[in-house]
A and B are shown apart, each in its own frame.
Chain A
Amino acid sequence: MKRLQLVMVALGVAVLGLLFAEPVRATIASQQAQIAVTVVVPVSGTPVAYVPHAAPYGGQPVIASIALRRATPSFGRVFRAEALQFDSADSDVVAQVQNPLLVQAEVTPNPKATILYSNNPGYTFPPVPPGSTTKETCAFTVTVDMLTTWSLEQGVGADFASGFNGNDLANNSYVSTPHPTSTPYVVYADDGKQWSLLGTGSTKTVYCIDLTVTVPPGVLDGTYTTNVVYTLFN
């Protein structure tokens, strides 16, 4: 009987050990590296029907106008000129002023920089009209080069803008074969400061990231960006 009790106690301890092991492992897992890949979405194609500032004189109907290159004078004068020089029709003289700015950094190699990296610091979509969806195959890759047990988490840092959410960007992240569907990114700023698990492993692994962006119909023309963040734990 005593032997049976001892066995039962041992089993209980083993079960408790299993129950506690995962949280403890999660607790002691430490962040090894964190990178961000900037995703740029140029939104263009919003129909422009009328721009009051650009309305010409004469009461002609305006169908579309983006920008004026010069002001139309609101007064008439008589001018005299000598030694006029006429440009060809396709040339345009503009006033411009330039200033340069030097950017510097002192860089030191970092052994940890190659345990988690992307093949591209950023990805720019081709122009996307509002209300449409665009998919880019293998927009960038993310490589984990660590031979101990690791886990990789992902998400976007924040929304593109008000009315253009971070989870309007979806990913299909795979090593060799794409998944049947894409999954919207979690948004760190909106979703309780949590990332989602992309994968685990203990060998060098290269993920190909297919990106799909859906631009809501009301989004105005402009350039929108967010950061896709990858965090590596062991």
Chain B
Amino acid sequence: MKRYLLGFLGVIFAATAMVAVLSPAGAVTATGNVTVEWHQLPIIHFTLTPNYYSGYGSVIATFGTQPAPTHGPGASQGGGSVDFGKTLAGDTYLYKYAAQLTVTTNDPNGFDVYGEAATEIQNSSDSTMYPTQALYYLPSGASSDSNTGFTPGIPFAQTSGVVTGGNNVATPASIAYVTYPAPVAQSSSANANFYYDYEFKVPPTATNGNYFVWIVYTVVGQ
């Protein structure tokens, strides 16, 4: 009989141990409040339109009557590149209606726009390089533009981010940022358009050839 009693107690102990092991943790853990803070990433749509209005193209800097804009073969209305076409070393050129940036977000705080040159300005004919301070941007209008080649602009900076591509005209550049630079534009509303002309101050010692640089625009929600 004692043996049966001991066996019965052993079964009870074993069952209790099994219950303790197999019970859900939550059943024996104290409950409490947890405050979780999260960042919800906004949705951003960003369209970059080169040569966004008829009359786009390059004019030499001059006071008084302005010449008619021309452009190189790489430019087409609403697409292609910002192609200044034939330029002379030492002269300054304004490129009208160069780029339209259209940004649509669901971010009620707006967004920042960064615009930088991926590399120095390169002469693909002899691989010489020139500082990006030769290339400027300045505000333009959606369908009118009173800028001349003597309207002051702001120079593009060469990025300090990590660049992928951009070493030739066929490979678009992208930039990976650890720290963002100063923005070229900001918006405190969710949607906005920005219109830009470009200026190219051709270096006086520039050698003969085809020059290019990739400008990379980055839009970041606030």
Contact check, A67 vs B222: say whether CB atoms are below 8 A apart. Answer: yes
| Segment among A57-65, A176-184, A211-219, A224-232 that sits at the interface with chain B | A224-232
- Cβ contacts under 8 Å, A83 to chain B: none
B contact residues, range: 35 or more
Contact check, A107 vs B218: say whether CB atoms are below 8 A apart. Answer: no
Q: A35-B92, A94-B221, A102-B214 are in contact. Are A107 and B206 (CB under 8 A)?
A: yes
Closest approach, in angstroms, between the C-beta of B112 and any C-beta of chain A? 9
For A67, A103, A188, the residue with the greatest tally of chain B CB atoms inside 10 Å of its CB is A103
B13 at the interface (CB under 8 A from A): no
Contact check, B74 vs A102: say whether CB atoms are below 8 A apart. Answer: yes
- Cβ contacts under 8 Å, A110 to chain B: 88-91, 204
Q: Which listed residue (A99, A107, A223) contacts B207, Cβ 8 A?
A: A107
Q: A68-B222, A96-B220 are in contact. Are A120 and B133 (CB under 8 A)?
A: yes
> How many inter-chain contacts with C-beta < 8 Å in the A-B complex?
206
B16 at the interface (CB under 8 A from A): no
Contact check, A105 vs B85: say whether CB atoms are below 8 A apart. Answer: yes
> Which A residue's beta carbon lies closest to that of B206?
A107
Contact check, A105 vs B211: say whether CB atoms are below 8 A apart. Answer: yes
B19 at the interface (CB under 8 A from A): no
Q: How far is the CA of A68 from the CA of B111 in the complex (A)?
A: 10
Interface string of A70-105 (1 = CB under 8 A from B): 110000000101001000000011111111111111
Q: How far is the CA of A53 from the CA of B175 in the complex (A)?
A: 31
> Which B residue's beta carbon lies closest to that of A117?
B204
Contact check, A100 vs B118: say whether CB atoms are below 8 A apart. Answer: yes
List CB contacts (< 8 Å) of B188-222 with chain A: 188, 198, 200-222
Q: A98-B218, A227-B150 are in contact. Are A107 and B50 (CB under 8 A)?
A: no
A130 at the interface (CB under 8 A from B): no
- Cβ contacts under 8 Å, A94 to chain B: 41, 220-221
> Which B residue's beta carbon lies closest to that of A68?
B109
Contact check, A103 vs B81: say whether CB atoms are below 8 A apart. Answer: yes
Contact check, A105 vs B155: say whether CB atoms are below 8 A apart. Answer: no
Q: How far is the CA of A36 from the CA of B133 in the complex (A)?
A: 13
Given A100-B172, A100-B215, 14 extra CB contacts under 8 A: A95-B41, A95-B44, A98-B216, A99-B48, A100-B173, A104-B82, A105-B84, A105-B202, A108-B88, A113-B91, A113-B204, A113-B205, A121-B201, A158-B152
20 residue pairs bridging A and B, Cβ less than 8 Å apart:
A35-B90, A38-B136, A70-B40, A93-B41, A96-B44, A97-B45, A98-B174, A100-B214, A100-B217, A101-B50, A102-B215, A103-B212, A104-B74, A105-B72, A105-B202, A105-B211, A106-B86, A107-B202, A110-B88, A113-B91
Report the 7 A-B pairs with minimum CB-CB distance, sorted nearest first: A113-B90, A225-B152, A102-B81, A99-B48, A105-B84, A113-B204, A117-B204
